[in-house]
């Protein structure tokens, strides 16, 4: 079983910047507490306040999927849907039955 890594960034429109800044700390805290989370870092870019750099690493695909499912039901998940995402994910094994 291999680790799953997600890295990249999100672009936050000015209209959602206050929402992101309000919810992000809680989202990071909950994510780091998840079983299977190795690393979870999100930081606002010092040169572009609308860009947030993201690096996540999970012990397995199952742990990563659990994380994705958990966040979908949160305030962060609802905000996140509105953001422009630029991610590269490695370690995901495609199900041949799909």
Question: Where do the domains of the chain lie?
Answer: 4-90
Q: Given a cut of 80, is residue 96 above it in pLDDT?
A: no
Its pTM stands at 0.88
Q: Grade residue 87 by pLDDT with cuts at 50, 70 and 90.
A: very high
- Does 4-90 carry CATH code 3.30.70.100? yes
* Beta strands 4-11; 84-90: pairing state: antiparallel
Nearest to 53, CA basis, from 43, 63, 67, 62: 43
Between 72 and 1, the more confident residue is 72
pLDDT tens by residue, 18-55: 999 999 999 999 999 999 999 999 999 999 999 999 99
What's the chain's average pLDDT? 92
pLDDT of residue 1: 61
């Amino acid at each position: 079983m291999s680790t799953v890594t997600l890295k990249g960034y999100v672009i936050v429109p000015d209209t959602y910047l206050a929402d992101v800044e309000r919810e992000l700390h809680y989202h990071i805290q909950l994510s780091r507490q998840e079983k299977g989370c190795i690393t979870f870092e999100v930081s606002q870019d010092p040169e572009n306040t609308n860009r947030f750099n993201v690096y996540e690493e999970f012990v397995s695909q199952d742990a990563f999927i659990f994380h994705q499912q958990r966040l979908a039901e949160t305030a962060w998940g609802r905000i996140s849907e509105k953001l422009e995402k630029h991610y590269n994910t490695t370690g995901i094994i495609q199900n041949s039955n799909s």
